[in-house]
């Protein structure tokens, strides 16, 4: 069995996976039928509900494909979609009409499984962006605890 046949068998096995099929349905409803933008109209909850649509992609990348860079890239797209959707005054909802995070995630997963070099480079770039964002977020949390400790030490408490 040559390399191409192995790749095709792997792709077919992944496409037969129930989670992969669920990802196709999520992409269809959320992006092609603009359900993501409609759900985004619900104040506060819309973007949180839309974020749940990324769970099949995260699960598939993490547990089926077993790729940390692909998982980080999928999370990157999902978080970016939520952050763009949270822009106030319906601007975020309009952006949601054009920013199809689930379609992008589906292309990333398919290209990664197929071994598309361009997609793999994009996955790696987004994975590095996600890793840097996580490190920055952790540094901010540490800084906040440090500032809180300094504030507590500065204040004259009677104990």
pLDDT per residue over 82-131, tens digit each?
Answer: 899 888 888 988 998 898 999 999 999 999 988 899 999 999 999 999 99
- The pair of structure tokens assigned to 72 is 């980080």
Q: Is 29 inside a domain boundary?
A: yes
Which structural domain, as residue segments, surrounds residue 119? 3-154
Spatial separation of the C-alpha atoms in residues 133 and 156, rounded to whole Å: 36
Please tell me the total count of domains within the chain. 1
Q: Is 99 inside a domain boundary?
A: yes
Summarize the confidence of residues 41-47 as an average pLDDT: 83
Q: Is 56 inside a domain boundary?
A: yes
- Counting residues of the chain whose pLDDT is more than 70, the rounded percentage is 99
Spatial separation of the C-alpha atoms in residues 142 and 125, rounded to whole Å: 26
pLDDT score of 1 more than 80: no
What's the Rg (C-alpha) of the chain?
A: 20
Instruction: Tell me the pTM.
Output: 0.84
Work out the pLDDT band at 25, boundaries 50, 70, 90: very high
Residue whose structure tokens are 């933008």: 37
Q: Is 159 inside a domain boundary?
A: no
- The pair of structure tokens assigned to 96 is 């949601």
Summarize the confidence of residues 14-37 as an average pLDDT: 90
Burial of 93-112, coded b for 16+ CB within 10 Å and e otherwise, reads bebbeebbbbebbbbbbbbb
Work out the pLDDT band at 41, boundaries 50, 70, 90: confident
Quote the strand ranges of 20-116, DSSP E: none
Distances in whole angstroms, Cα of residue 95 to Cα of each of 43, 68, 127: 16, 28, 23
**Please, what is the average pLDDT of the chain?**
90
The pLDDT value given to residue 159: 62
pLDDT score of 45 more than 70: yes
The pLDDT value given to residue 124: 96
Q: Is 62 inside a domain boundary?
A: yes
- Counting residues of the chain whose pLDDT is more than 90, the rounded percentage is 57
Spatial separation of the C-alpha atoms in residues 33 and 52, rounded to whole Å: 17
Q: Is the dihedral of CA 95, 98, 102, 107 positive or negative?
A: negative
Nearest to 26 by CA among 38, 17, 36, 16: 36
């Amino acid at each position: 069995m040559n390399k191409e046949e192995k790749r095709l068998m792997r792709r077919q096995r992944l496409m037969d996976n129930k989670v992969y099929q669920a990802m196709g349905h999520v992409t269809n409803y959320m992006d092609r039928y603009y359900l993501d933008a409609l759900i985004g109209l619900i104040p506060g909850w819309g973007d949180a509900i839309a974020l749940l649509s990324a769970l099949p992609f995260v699960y598939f990348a993490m547990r089926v494909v077993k790729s940390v860079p692909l998982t980080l890239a999928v999370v990157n797209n999902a978080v970016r979609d939520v952050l763009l959707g949270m822009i106030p005054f319906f601007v975020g909802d309009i952006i949601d009409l054009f920013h199809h995070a689930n379609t992008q995630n589906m292309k990333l997963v398919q290209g990664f499984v197929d071994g598309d070099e361009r997609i793999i480079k994009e996955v790696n770039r987004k994975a590095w962006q996600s890793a840097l964002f996580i490190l920055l977020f952790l540094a901010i949390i540490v800084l906040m605890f440090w500032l809180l400790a300094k504030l507590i030490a500065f204040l004259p408490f009677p104990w």
